[in-house]
Structure 1
């Protein structure tokens, strides 16, 4: 048996290969094994953790907003991810949402989204061209006492900005764990689950900085403990950084 925990990473059937490979690399560097989850053939995959990755817009009808004209929404992928998220919440499966994934987590909890942050928060200089998006950085503030703050170990963070939408009305059971200066949430989490965090930025594209690698290390650590508990392992098999079935955030950071 592969000793590495299995982390499922959602993606569309076509496209977003670079992001998937970057997430897979981050998981591998943290000691996990990434498997691709597409809208066909995902139900039989046994998971120890889940990443809801970025991509196309969440369907606005889910938060009672009119869809964009002539926009191609990925309904099969969205249905898969909502089913996976429901399963993850029911089983306390460690879950990380990235960009679109964080937005979907919020919508699934009854929240809504800003459809166009550039127009809504003008004149905030959100970059539009992909080349500028890759190099642009903005500062966000982390909320003390949150899981994300404990994992990353800092109160200020410079992140990328590759999104056109963002969390608006917060979903039930969620907490904002990071905001940018204009108030837009940049991270959300559930305190009633051990590891259920969504980030608006793309940490997989910032792996050259240790602080972002910590997020994937914490995910894999949580996945190891989930796997040990699922297999009914003895207390000695629970990874370091865990205490009484719960993650000791300060040790794992």
Structure 2
């Protein structure tokens, strides 16, 4: 087993929590590593927070490889997760394996894919061939057009049972990690206790084995953030203020300063 992953497994067994954040470029990965983050996720969320799209569906595998290369250079000891984008893995296990290989060559340690029990055969195919897989259930952003909105999952008894079944099947198929997004706290806690895979929560309460947040939400770079995200900084406003100050200094002749010859 990958040495970094074995530490995650050991921490799950001993009840120690791990923290991840998204990163899309070298500077963010470098800051994350210096701050002591345990992992960085090159998420297809870049389609929304970097490219300005309404969802993640336009992100390509080529883009994911490009951003993964940048992140890997700055990630240090962080475990690097990378998303398989929409359309790059759903057709067959073989397609998923080929796309995952591209991300591995770009520097990813763990490959994340969305979907429930229907993806178990794909997870098993990749895992048997040496790829570390992170499954993703609950709210799956790549299926937002199917759902109609970014809505919480597993809120009914039937929905909760479905999520528990999916998590169990994916873990048994060889997924080393399972992301639980926008599911009730009690459901996420139960799944985390029951499966071998390390659970990573986002909007899933405090009882998962690890937590992940989109960096732009954490840093206040988005105008609005999801209700579950904590804004630790209002960097967006600070950046805007700094840029406005620069404009003012240029307009008033205060920048650049005059130098004596």
TM-score (norm 1): 0.28
Q: Which has the higher contact order (CA 8 A, sep 6+)?
A: 1
Rg bigger for which structure?
2
Higher strand share: 1
Q: If each structure's helix is expressed as a fraction of its own residues, which one has the higher value?
A: 2
